[in-house]
Structure 1
């Protein structure tokens, strides 16, 4: 079976390790935790998020324009 290496923070590793059963590999743990998971089950669960992202993006662009004007006239 092919394998992939992934990088996780120490905190994430510690959390996974705490959930891992004694007779279970980390691969088994990830499989167990994600069995039956349907990513689409959360679709639409954050109404208005797209609008908030656009507003934040616009605000950032405005801030960057302002700083550029301050620095370069």
Structure 2
């Protein structure tokens, strides 16, 4: 069967208009809560200051990850 225009498609037929007029069920945002405002990065840093020990730990962890990923990448090539 060859469809020449939209009127030949059953889903777009004017006789089937009731398909498009049925109300949709709400499926968006069923499991989310409304957040009124987010804190700025400055406020976040003020609320949770980074100590010298934490900064050293993060830096050391990043270096270990970088060494590990660089070594693995070199082995692959």
TM-score (norm 2): 0.37
Greater per-residue helix proportion: 1
TM-score (norm 1): 0.39
Higher relative contact order (CA 8 A, sep 6+): 1
Larger radius of gyration: 2
